[in-house]
Structure 1
């Protein structure tokens, strides 16, 4: 799911514990390329934890040089360090994988960007004859976001979702019961997770296989992204990983952080269920932007703004850095985990940041500053 700017108050204070991982003295980003050394990045990473994270990690790849840093703890009330190569839920970065498969199917002639939703999923949503695959990819469908129909933290009822299995049809129907955010598909950008649930179903209709299988056989296995998975309804995260928390209201007032690491990811489905690592996300973006997964014409479609003046194309986002360069990738919010993964167009430098928020503050601006430091120096 997309990150949203919000400030939630947690009941506890986090004590930072620093752990820096570097391959060698030579494994410092930016020698000759302008990025700061480990000390500057580590300071900003520590600042994230001091401001509002239980733990955080960053990986910077500059050519063959790699620097990894961590700060905070992997689990509250322990001194366990955040695993620098650990796994985390990537939220809406999942959308870039889904969009890549959709565009591959377009390249194979199995569907078209201008196909109406109604052609693939009859009666799934109102106005399905005017809403196209392109609109779903670029968040211009006008469909209500199913996430807005859910109980969310700090409401204690959110904890009931831990073991609940959702179907995409159920979530889509919840969204379709609400008026659209726009009655003119293709003209207004309004972020909607509902669109990607529909795209997951369209992949299944076009291939005869679940979207998770298609992502696995088309992307994960060819690129050897062995630490990346689509867990479906499986609640746990395999391998080393930090634990994630949500703020929940207490009867006497205030909130407390509740461990929500184990949860049924069907809550997110094709809009945000995936688990990955910084290394795998770097490899995926390098392959995607390097033309290994899509032909040039479809990669160009992916990078074109869905609407003018919006830094979002077809499942791919971009941002302007402080030094005036554009970097491509995406960010994700899985409630208990937040992540950002971007790369320069020349594929020279990749930066991935992941953290487990403690929900005391909105960290977007501080993460942007860290990304600027990593990309610009």
Structure 2
């Protein structure tokens, strides 16, 4: 979905990572008192003040292995109900690493060639002004170096009129192909959701099964992500506990409730639903080699400069995963996602730290985007 402001970097020395249960070594009341003075909680409280983000939730695993979930603000601007600690949210472009993982599993199975043209799998689909699928590889699709324009740049401008409109994946590709190529394939980098719609169509062509089913079988069920799912066809709701998501066209505008929306414009680029805790589990399992063979994981973590990836400098992009140097030293791996009503930011490190946070509205200013990125830095560097 819309361009994300994410974080993480190109270090291939993978250390063993694990997940931990929510901290239980201190009484709940004592833990709550400690959390309220925690630097991460202070960051979330600051995010939830004012008109930018009605609510925020984060799950963090620190250097000692302690896991905490933080909430701030409200789940509903009408009832002012608190945010549940097990809340699910729309994760937008965090869907892309799931899609890339499935493609790379197919590479490991000998069913897809990373350096073959996308036309081999989707013959004749990619044709346009400066666009030819016979000259664009699968690797370039996954790495955003294809030069294929982003359909989202066209659709996002009139969002509220499209909130409940269903789109077929091929329609999204056709919207993008009406525009000129951004650059010759392999010569630059530009984030484009269209790349990941094509990746989803590739998976379906090769496996003969829906991309959502393949993600569920190959990733979600395999590592036991209990609160992560691909929405069923036509389902505009979020199952289970969740905060409301809000949208406004200007920083000072009215918050419009967009919790229920048609996720098909995101599809294999941005349709999924998850929790911060499950996002941490997924990325930890991914970089720890639980989902890909070593050769394919190495390919995934081989990055190129991605200068407009983030609100902070130094971003690089692999195959469906991104990299960024941390302000406290070292690097982190992850992604991020924006979809109307929600923004998620998340990273994991090779020494076992994890942080994923969600806010219940997309940032409307660069300053707000930087505040979210700063909260993630605090979570990983405290």
Which category describes the TM-score, using the shorter chain as reference length?
0.7 to 0.9
- Which one scores higher on RCO, CA 8 angstroms, separation ≥ 6? 2
- Summarize the Cα distance change of 1:57–1:192 in structure 2 as closer, same or farther, 3 Å threshold: same
Aligned to 2:154: 149
TM-score (norm 2): 0.85
1:347-362 to structure 2, matched below 5 A, reads: 348-357=352-361, 359=363, 361-362=365-366
Counterpart of 1:300 in 2: which secondary structure? helix
1:28-107 to structure 2, matched below 5 A, reads: 39-50=38-49, 52-62=52-62, 64-107=65-108
d(CA) in 1 for partners of 2:134, 2:3? 30
Q: What's the CA shift for 1:310?
A: 4.9
Aligned to 1:314: 319
Aligned to 1:339: 344
1:221-260 to structure 2, matched below 5 A, reads: 221-231=221-231, 232-247=233-248, 255-260=253-258
| Preserved CA contact (<8 Å) 1:26 1:65 | no
d(CA) in 1 for partners of 2:364, 2:268? 29
| Preserved CA contact (<8 Å) 1:318 1:328 | yes
d(CA) in 2 for partners of 1:358, 1:349? 25
Residue 136 (1) aligns with residue 136 (2)? no
| Preserved CA contact (<8 Å) 2:212 2:230 | yes
d(CA) in 2 for partners of 1:27, 1:172? 53
| Preserved CA contact (<8 Å) 2:315 2:324 | no
Spell out structure 1 runs of 4+ moving beyond 3 A: 2-5, 22-28, 306-310, 358-362
- Summarize the Cα distance change of 1:208–1:356 in structure 2 as closer, same or farther, 3 Å threshold: same
Aligned to 2:215: 215
d(CA) in 1 for partners of 2:226, 2:136? 36
**RMSD, aligned α-carbons:** 2.2
Q: What's the CA shift for 1:4?
A: 5.0
Aligned to 2:172: 171
Question: Greater CA deviation, 62-71 or 142-151?
Answer: 62-71
d(CA) in 2 for partners of 1:312, 1:248? 29
Counterpart of 1:92 in 2: which secondary structure? helix
Aligned to 1:11: none
TM-score (norm 1): 0.86
Unpaired stretches in structure 1, ≥5 consecutive residues? 6-21, 29-35
- Summarize the Cα distance change of 1:37–1:66 in structure 2 as closer, same or farther, 3 Å threshold: farther
| Preserved CA contact (<8 Å) 1:187 1:307 | no
